[in-house]
Amino acid sequence: MTKIPQISETAPDFSAPDQHGHVVSLKDKSDRWLVLYFYPKDNTPGCTTEAQDFSEYAAQFNQLGADIIGVSPDSEQSHCKFIAKHDLSIQLLSDPEHRVIEAYGAWRLKKFMGKEYMGVVRSTFLISPDGKIAQVWDKVRVKAHVEKVLQELKQQVS
């Protein structure tokens, strides 16, 4: 059974390369809030909408002291193309071995058109500056999701 980190637990540490090949770790973000979200694949409709929504609201998250990082199994090169194609302003991590994805319980059995396969379950974690899980959204529906995350962050910081 896949373990999903719960509210008030210490967030699993991670290190993975971003779209430029720079290794990003949880400890690099220890003075800020972090919105860490997991998505299946660059340039698919839901994933594109989610990334565009997070980019659209990035300045508001930043004003509240939060960074946004998306994680998928896609390569750094794929992330660069995805960011350029959709003018994204968020950081994306490449996790082809699913180390970060599995640490956060987002690599799970999925079903589509009668077939079962392992894949990324869309999920988002709000991590406080002290490294604790502040909120978890599992099996995310993209529509209005970013607004919900922003509202939760506003409540947490006030």
In the prediction, which pLDDT does 1 show?
Answer: 59
Mean pLDDT of residues grouped by 10 in the chain (158 residues)?
89 97 94 97 96 98 98 98 98 97 96 93 97 97 97 96
| CATH code, 125 | 3.40.30.10
> Is 75 a member of any domain?
yes
Q: What is the pTM of this model?
A: 0.96
Active-site pick, 11, 36, 47, 126? 47
Is the separation of the CB atoms in 117 and 110 below 8 Å? yes
Total number of domains constituting the chain: 1
Degrees (nearest 5) of the Cα angle 117, 38, 116? Answer: 10
- Examine the residue annotation and report whether 47 is marked as an active-site residue of this protein: yes
Any domain includes 8? no
Q: How many CA atoms lie within 13 A of 2 on its CB side?
A: 16
Q: Do 90 and 68 meet the contact criterion of CB atoms below 8 Å apart?
A: yes
